[in-house]
Amino acid sequence: MSCSLIQKYNVAGPRYTSYPTVPYWDESSFSLQQWKQTLKRSFDESNQSEGISLYIHLPFCESLCTFCGCHKKVTKRHEMEQPYIQAVLKEWDLYCQLLQEKPIIKEIHLGGGTPTFFSIEHLQQLIQGVLAKADIAKDYEFSFEGHPNNTTRAHLQALYDLGFRRVSYGVQDYNDTVQKAIHRIQPFEQVANVTQWAREIGYRSISHDLVFGLPFQNLNDVLKTIDLTNSLMPDRLAFYSYAHVPWIKGNGQRGFKDQDVPKDDVKRTLYEAGKKQLLAHGYHEMGMDHFALAQDGMYQSFQAGTLHRNFMGYTSSKTQLMIGLGISSISDSWYSFAQNEKDLEAYYACLDRDEIPVVKGHVLSAEDLKIRQHILNLMCTFQTSWAEPSMDFTERAQVIEQLIEMQQDGLLTIETDRIVITEQGKPFVRNICMAFDLHLKRRKPETQIFSMTI
Ligand SMILES: C[S@@+](CC[C@H](N)C(=O)[O-])C[C@H]1O[C@@H](n2cnc3c(N)ncnc32)[C@H](O)[C@@H]1O
Ligand code: SF4
């Protein structure tokens, strides 16, 4: 990839797990009442036909990885588990009262933090408590994020018995220097064990998270990590670009210096070399930063054009309604977004008052809904079209003007009423989405709020 393209397009930009992106939510036009109304509307429209998704945030981690951008609480006090599970079940109960009809659950994802921080008994209590008030869809998918260092065989078996068939493990990088810098010692043997156990128990999809652009990471480290990963043949891989956002995460990411982090074309070379190695090992690229073996369900949805993207990243099954439970979780009713209280004590206090702990959100305008669909199309299928009148939008001329320059740079081709991203343009998909982002166009951020696109 050309260095001049990287210099030109390496700007701060969103990862588009939502549109509008969180810093552009219009909080003045949002209220808990509106959230409840759009939630109910979406539920009534979609529960019977496709069911709903649940994202449950389990925030605790035993130690802090200094590169981590997730919302977590570092503690060794496992007595925090029980009150947290009770609170999440109370939150679910408040939603069930509001929805009136029994929810049909299509998808559950346990994210974190570290879901496997929790004991088997508490995870069982959580899932059984949730399912006691719901029906399960026929083609349901339950998945969780496991930390290889504390996922036990018993965790895997218990969650399998509850219906979980997908697991993703955080790996990041196997090099000692990198692991020390990010304060995460992640032995290969441990990852091999948890991968093997999941396979023996019958999990259908095992995924590993790798990250490029970590402090001190060089080309050799990336290639070695990919070769070791390939020896375990996970069905799926996330190959994330390290999001260096120290201004948001406070001291967490300051365990190393800015100059220890690979940047620009050096960082991009890590991705390019890693991608080449993954393709050589038989993995296929899908969407942004994701790879899978041909038989993986998500790769099949990518090929069928049905891949979807939400706050959890990519998913093969889309539901119109996703309810997020637990601190900091984001819910999506399609017509509006809502985010929960991030502070644990304030979250508990809200639930003690029998209130849904939503603190901010955004109601999507008709224009937002169209632009969101274009951005989803680009992120999931690398193309989008405005041939249907319902997909046309007011500032199309200005958007196309910006796309013409990208066409000249070989990133995409513009046809009468659609654009298609070229192979060369795929690494710049975030920049291409930014051309459609009318909120960003109208109000440029005054300080850096997003990570760099490359
Ligand atoms: C919640 S963690 C995974 C589960 C478990 N806590 C663990 O670490 O194994 C989610 C994943 O997000 C990715 N991640 C976290 N912080 C990141 C950052 N700053 N940039 C890119 N990826 C990041 C990592 O790959 C990590 O495995
Ligand atoms: S990477 Fe995982 S274990 Fe480490 S701090 Fe982040 S959420 Fe916790």
pLDDT tens for 13-59 read: 788 888 999 989 998 889 999 999 999 999 999 999 999 999 999 99
The atom of ligand 1 lying closest to the CA of 72 is: 1
pLDDT at 7 over 60: yes
CATH topology assigned to domain 16-325: pyruvate-formate lyase- activating enzyme (3.80.30)
| 196 annotated binding-site participant | no
Q: What is the mean pLDDT of residues 236-261?
A: 78
Least confident of 167-181, 184-198, 306-320: 306-320
d(CA 44, ligand 2 centre) in Å: 36
- The pLDDT assigned to 170 comes to 98
Helices vs strands, H then E, count in the chain: 16, 19
Does 61 show up as a binding residue in the annotation?
Answer: yes
pLDDT value for 233 = 97
- Alpha-carbon distance 319 to 356, whole Å? 21
Pairing of strands 60-61, 73-74: parallel
Residue 170 annotated as binding site: no
Tell me: is residue 111 an annotated ligand-binding position.
no
- DSSP state, 252? G
> Strands 358-363 and 383-385, how do they pair?
unpaired
Whether the predicted pLDDT of 177 surpasses 70: yes
Q: What is the mean pLDDT of the chain?
A: 92
Q: Where along the chain do the CATH 1.10.10.920 domains lie?
A: 366-453
Spatial CA neighbour of 219 closest among 208, 230, 227: 227
**Atom of ligand 1 lying closest to residue 68 CA:** 16
pTM for the whole structure:
0.94
Average of per-residue pLDDT across 410-418: 93
Strands (E), 185-235: 205-212
Model pLDDT for residues 258-303, shown as the tens digit of each residue: 889 998 889 989 999 999 999 999 999 988 889 999 999 889 988 9
Does 67 show up as a binding residue in the annotation? yes
Band (pLDDT 50/70/90 cuts) for residue 306 is confident
Give yes or no for residue 72 CB within 6 A of ligand 2: yes
At 234 the pLDDT is: 98
- pLDDT tens, position by position, 314-355: 888 789 999 999 999 999 999 999 999 999 999 999 999 999
370-to-20, 396, 406 alpha-carbon distances in Å: 11, 11, 22
Name the pLDDT band for 248 (thresholds 50, 70, 90): low
For CATH 3.80.30.20, the residue range(s) in the chain are 16-325
Whether residue 95 is predicted with pLDDT greater than 70 in this model: the reply is: yes
Task: Give the mean model confidence (pLDDT) for residues 101-115.
Answer: 97
pLDDT score for 443: 76
- Predicted pLDDT of residue 3: 65
Q: Residue 446 has what pLDDT?
A: 64
Band (163; pLDDT cuts 50, 70, 90)? very high
Q: Tell me how far the alpha carbon of residue 61 lies from the centroid of ligand 1, in angstroms.
A: 12
Rounded to whole angstroms, the Cα distance separating 433 from 380 reads 11
Mean pLDDT of 96-124: 97
Q: Which of 60, 169, 183, 184 to mutate to test the pocket of ligand 2 (most atoms within 8 A of CB)?
A: 184
Strands (E), 155-307: 164-172, 205-212, 236-241, 284-286, 290-292
CATH number of the 366-453 domain = 1.10.10.920
Cβ of 216: how many Cβ atoms within 10 Å?
Answer: 18
The arithmetic mean of pLDDT across residues 215-235, rounded, is 97
Q: Which residues contact 288 (CB under 8 A, 6 or more apart)?
A: 15, 379, 426, 429, 430
Question: Per-residue pLDDT averaged across 62-81, rounded?
Answer: 95
Mutate to test the pocket of ligand 2, among 66, 73, 114 (most ligand atoms within 8 A of CB): 114
Kindly give the number of the ligand 2 atom that is closest to the alpha carbon of 68: 6
Ligand closest in space to the Cα of 182: 2
Indicate if the pLDDT at residue 439 is higher than 60. yes
| Best mutation site among 71, 209, 241 for ligand 1 pocket (most ligand atoms within 8 Å of CB) | 209
Ligand at minimal distance from the CA of 111 is 1
Q: Does the Cβ of 214 fall within 6 Å of ligand 2?
A: no
Amino acid at 153: R
Identify the band that residue 1 occupies on the pLDDT scale cut at 50, 70 and 90.
low
